[in-house]
Amino acid sequence: MEISLLLNTSMLLTLLIILTPILMPLMTMTPCPPTSITHYVKTAFLTSLIPTTLFMYSGVESITSNWEWKFIQNFKIPISLKMDLYSTTFLSIALFVTWSILQFALWYMASEPHITKFFSYLLTFLAMMLLLTSANNMFLLFIGWEGVGIMSFLLIGWWYARAEANTAALQAILYNRIGDIGLILSLAWLASTLNTWEIQQTIHHTQTPTLPLLGLILAATGKSAQFGLHPWLPAAMEGPTPVSALLHSSTMVVAGIFLLIRTHPMLANNQTALTLCLCLGALSTLFAATCALTQNDIKKIIAFSTSSQLGLMMVTIGLNLPQLAFLHISTHAFFKAMLFLCSGSIIHNLNGEQDIRKMGGLQNTLPITTTCLTIGNLALMGTPFLAGFYSKDLIIENLNTSYLNSWALLTTLLATSFTATYSLRLTIMVQTGSTRSPSISPINENNPTILNPIIRLAIGSVMAGLIISSLITPSKTPPMTMPFTTKMAAILVTAMGAILALELSNMTRTLTTPKQNPYSNFSVSLGYFNPLIHRLSSTNLLNSGQKIATQLIDLSWYKKIGPEGLANLQQTSSKMSTSIHKGLIKSYLSTFALTILIIMATL
């Protein structure tokens, strides 16, 4: 049978299965219960394995063009979906992770009265994300981009009675909007210069101009929480844990990196843009790892860890290795979603406790959850032959053997060791030691609805790296020869970070109180970024706005240059001449004498 036909058909069938629970209630007016939504997503996952295996077997890629929007005479925008490596692999992984998260959400949000609406929001988000990843032109990608932004807003502010949740949702929208300006700039440049929005037609054989690439990098900075537009990601933890697991760890935040992967042919020959990506990613990963060292909220630690891994993906883009970045996206989705699910289970079991200083000794009461938490943390650290190893170690090897900015190299290595430190700190404080939580909450994990997703994702975390990296053909040859120290660099820095964490945790057990020093203050207050930027930038903007509106236009142009200014001028001259007009006849008559004297002088 024709393979490309089968590929297209199964892909479109998968997307249709996803869309059915959204469209059916609109047409038949009966709501779709959450359990059946979970079954829909499971069916969609199983169906999506067909295009994935077809692609991995035969390497066939295809582009489907459906209806075409004839915008103006020579600029047509088709609805074209591209099925290549990135699209098909991401489809399967995203559906697998979403299926597990939806099953988990059945247990987590069981007491929620609007659970059906929650599930339909999650499903709409998934549809938008899949549109973004399978888009072949920038127009569809932009639709998916905005769609995931809107759903993120709705889902972060799910508990809208909480003021912090509303603030966090608004913050997410604002920061994403600043990134969207960059994307719209690139779209406008592409439309005006190259007269197309198809990604295949944007490839230059010479160096691409830097302006659209800056726009794309700004868009990625906003959506993927790189340094400068990052505060929304830790604040987005105000949403429910399934939202954090789906959006802000696996799927939405990788949209920025995915954009750069899709438009990588444009980036490949512009060294300025690549170096910018590299340094920005290195800065983001180090900053996020530093902030994660002193956080006490379990969800915020995992959020900063996500931010740090996104910085690492940006570094990979800067090394001109989009396939490796995509591999890291895929493996990262598994263990990060699992970390969030484990933390959700712990939070629910401890009756809403999110502070790790009030958790401890959970290894005995929640054995499966804490085992999977440990597996996830080990995968995050890049333990050899778990999922994270195949992508992270390759990235660090490529980093060490490339000709690039050495500052970026050093910061990435430092951030890798910090990753080990905060992961081990999380594990030790949550699982081991004496129990610091109140003993009233009934802790159990007997429900298969919570156990099956976590175990499934744990199996994925262990095996996904091996499976994915052995089934796709790399587009660039990985570095094969390097000195022994360089090869072992990632493991060495990870081990150093782990030993440091163990040493520090011994200090806390012996009640050695930490002194406040500038470095710990920097880490705790998240680098002083939030209060500085939030107050300074809004003050400056509003001040300059007031100056332009009130002082420039109202006061100056309408008053001073017009009537008031004229009146002032006349007043000045009147004041000057009033002192001359004295009303004394003597002085008036003296002017006659002066005139005569002048006439005499001219004779």
Among 232, 240, 227, 233, residue whose Cα is nearest residue 155: 240
Give 440 or 603: the residue with its C-beta nearer to another protein.
Answer: 603
Give 521 or 595: the residue with its C-beta nearer to another protein.
Answer: 595
Name which position in 576, 584, 598, 601 contacts another protein (CB under 8 A).
584
Judged by CB under 8 A, which stretch of 26-34, 124-132, 139-147, 580-588 contacts another protein? Answer: 580-588
Judged by CB under 8 A, which stretch of 342-350, 425-433, 568-576, 595-603 contacts another protein? Answer: 595-603
Q: Tell me if 600 contacts another protein by CB under 8 A.
A: yes
Q: Tell me if 575 contacts another protein by CB under 8 A.
A: no
Q: Tell me if 577 contacts another protein by CB under 8 A.
A: no
Residue 288 near residue 305 (C-beta atoms within 8 A): yes
Give 511 or 589: the residue with its C-beta nearer to another protein.
Answer: 589
Name which position in 67, 403, 484, 592 contacts another protein (CB under 8 A).
592
Which residue type does 114 have? H
Give 65 or 595: the residue with its C-beta nearer to another protein.
Answer: 595
Q: Tell me if 578 contacts another protein by CB under 8 A.
A: yes
Q: Tell me if 595 contacts another protein by CB under 8 A.
A: yes
Contacts of 545 (CB under 8 A, 6+ apart): none
Give 27 or 594: the residue with its C-beta nearer to another protein.
Answer: 594
Where is 72: in which H helix or E strand?
strand 62-72
Contacts of 44 (CB under 8 A, 6+ apart): 14, 17, 18, 95
CB of residue 586 to another protein, shortest distance in Å: 7
Distances (CA, A) of 368 to 101, 360, 378, 415, 459: 17, 15, 15, 29, 13
Name which position in 589, 598, 601, 602 contacts another protein (CB under 8 A).
589
Q: Tell me if 440 contacts another protein by CB under 8 A.
A: no
Name which position in 1, 29, 585, 598 contacts another protein (CB under 8 A).
585
Q: Tell me if 582 contacts another protein by CB under 8 A.
A: yes
Q: Tell me if 1 contacts another protein by CB under 8 A.
A: no
Of residues 91-120, those binding another protein (CB under 8 A): none
Q: Tell me if 571 contacts another protein by CB under 8 A.
A: no
Q: Quickly list DSSP for 171-213.
A: HHHHHHHHHHHHHHHHHHHIIIIIS--BGGGG--SSPPPHHHH
Backbone angles phi, psi at 137, to 5 degrees: -120, 160
Where is 46: in which H helix or E strand?
helix 34-58
Name which position in 113, 352, 518, 583 contacts another protein (CB under 8 A).
583
Judged by CB under 8 A, which stretch of 200-208, 327-335, 337-345, 588-596 contacts another protein? Answer: 588-596
Q: What is the CA 267 to chain-centroid distance, rounded?
A: 20
- Contacts for 505-514: CB closer than 8 Å, 24+ residues apart: 505/424, 505/425, 505/428, 505/429, 509/433
CB of residue 571 to another protein, shortest distance in Å: 17
Which residue type does 106 have? L
Half-sphere exposure of residue 490, counting CA atoms within 13 Å on the CB side? Answer: 20
Where is 138: in which H helix or E strand?
helix 138-156
Distances (CA, A) of 463 to 125, 391, 460, 469: 27, 13, 5, 10
Give 272 or 590: the residue with its C-beta nearer to another protein.
Answer: 590
CB of residue 591 to another protein, shortest distance in Å: 8
Distances (CA, A) of 427 to 25, 305, 384, 433, 508: 43, 14, 18, 10, 14
Q: Tell me if 573 contacts another protein by CB under 8 A.
A: no
Judged by CB under 8 A, which stretch of 17-25, 30-38, 182-190, 575-583 contacts another protein? Answer: 575-583
Give 206 or 578: the residue with its C-beta nearer to another protein.
Answer: 578
Size of the site for another protein (CB under 8 A): 16
Pairing of strands 75-83, 62-72: antiparallel
Give 442 or 583: the residue with its C-beta nearer to another protein.
Answer: 583
Half-sphere exposure of residue 401, counting CA atoms within 13 Å on the CB side? Answer: 18
Judged by CB under 8 A, which stretch of 25-33, 43-51, 544-552, 578-586 contacts another protein? Answer: 578-586
CB of residue 547 to another protein, shortest distance in Å: 43
CB of residue 576 to another protein, shortest distance in Å: 15
Cα distance from N-terminal residue to C-terminal residue, the chain: 123
Name which position in 26, 111, 581, 601 contacts another protein (CB under 8 A).
581
Residue 333 near residue 231 (C-beta atoms within 8 A): no
Give 513 or 573: the residue with its C-beta nearer to another protein.
Answer: 573
User: Token pair of 19, please?
Assistant: 């869309």
Give 364 or 595: the residue with its C-beta nearer to another protein.
Answer: 595
Give the interface with another protein as residue ranges (CB under 8 A): 578, 581-586, 589-590, 592-593, 595-596, 599-600, 603
